[in-house]
């Protein structure tokens, strides 16, 4: 099903100067983005991974000091709240996850990367674009975000991307592609408590959203530059975590994408 890999070279789109490139890793829940990001991080000193700020979503009180002393706020795991009661919490979750991602990705790159003589690359786990065109859109289509919330979400998202987007503009997207069934198995194996109620049907919907955005290019995106960002599609159906040969093969494709 996913044997072919579609490659659009990122290099032609990138500037030749010693600027830092930004690339996001996209893919379904539990496909292996973090594992792949670590692989890139270890592959060369020119790569720096900016992890998805998921621990912030699981501990909201700790990240927003003004709510720390609020006695009614006993539950602070927004990820859990969203999966437990999606109609009530999806909008709040999507707002907070996108805002915290933007804040994290807007941090200045480490000096090590700025001093690099090669091609320094900042690797993001997901982006503000998958937040909107995969997750928030899906929740809207499922009726868990209502039309007023969706209008508000799109309004502030467009505004923020227009204001700050140039600082986190992507030069490439790496799409880790695997079947929803495979992601379901990996999700079960890793056993993140909040995700235990996720059904295959949900992963299938997210899979279709990834395909529409990154392969079929049928998702209506609102940012001109985004439609031109090159996409490297990698087959993540095979288990790559413990297989060095497969890892080398994937890394070769990534290097080719950047050179």
Binding region for ligand DCP (CB under 6 A): 27, 29-34, 52, 54, 79, 94, 97, 126, 131, 135, 195
Q: How far is the CB of 207 from ligand DCP (least distance, A)?
A: 12
Half-sphere exposure of 73 toward its Cβ, with a 13 Å CA cutoff? Answer: 14
Distance (Å, rounded) from C-alpha 187 to C-alpha 32? 10
Buried b (16+ CB within 10 A) or exposed e, 67-82: eeeeeeeeebbbbbbb
Which is closer to ligand DCP, CB of 198 or CB of 229?
Answer: 198
171 is catalytic: no
What region does 126 belong to: left with phi over 0, alpha with psi -120 to 50, or beta? left
Closer CB to ligand DCP, residue 100 or residue 119? 100
Burial per residue of 130-152, b for 16 or more beta-carbon CB atoms within 10 angstroms, e otherwise = bbbbbbbbbbbeeebbeeebbee
Beta strands in the chain, from DSSP E residues, in sequence order? 21-27, 47-50, 121-125, 172-177, 231-235
Give me the least distance between CB of 241 and ligand DCP, in Å please: 11
Closest CB 72 distance from ligand DCP, rounded Å: 24
Helix (H) or strand (E) holding 38: helix 33-43
Catalytic residue among 26, 125, 149, 171: 125
Closest approach of ligand DCP to the CB of residue 176, in Å = 7
Q: How far is the CB of 185 from ligand DCP (least distance, A)?
A: 12
**Contact criterion met (CB below 8 Å) for 169 and 136:** no
Residues annotated as catalytic are 125
């Amino acid at each position: 099903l996913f044997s072919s890999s579609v490659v659009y070279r990122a290099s032609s789109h990138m500037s030749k100067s010693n600027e830092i490139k930004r690339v996001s890793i996209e893919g379904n829940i539990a496909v292996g983005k973090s594992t792949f990001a670590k692989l890139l991080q270890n592959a060369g000193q020119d790569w720096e991974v900016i992890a998805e700020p998921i621990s912030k979503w699981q501990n909201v009180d700790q990240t927003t000091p003004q709510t720390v002393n609020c006695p009614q706020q006993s539950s602070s795991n927004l990820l859990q709240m969203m999966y437990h009661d999606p109609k009530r919490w999806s909008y709040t979750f999507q707002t907070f996850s996108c805002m915290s991602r933007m804040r994290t990705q807007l941090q200045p790159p480490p000096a090590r990367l700025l001093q690099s003589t090669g091609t320094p690359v900042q690797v993001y786990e997901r982006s503000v674009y998958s937040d909107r065109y995969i997750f928030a859109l899906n929740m809207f289509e499922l009726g868990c975000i209502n039309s007023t919330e969706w209008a508000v979400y799109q309004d502030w998202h467009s505004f923020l991307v227009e204001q700050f987007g140039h600082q986190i503009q992507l030069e490439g997207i790496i799409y880790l592609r695997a079947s929803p069934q495979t992601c379901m198995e990996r999700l079960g194996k890793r056993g993140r408590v909040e995700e235990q109620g996720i059904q295959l049907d949900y992963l299938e919907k997210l899979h279709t959203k990834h395909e529409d955005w990154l392969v079929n290019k049928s998702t209506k995106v609102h940012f001109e530059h985004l439609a031109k960002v090159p996409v490297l599609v990698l087959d993540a159906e095979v288990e790559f975590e413990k297989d060095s040969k497969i890892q080398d093969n994937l890394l070769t494709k990534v290097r080719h994408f950047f050179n």
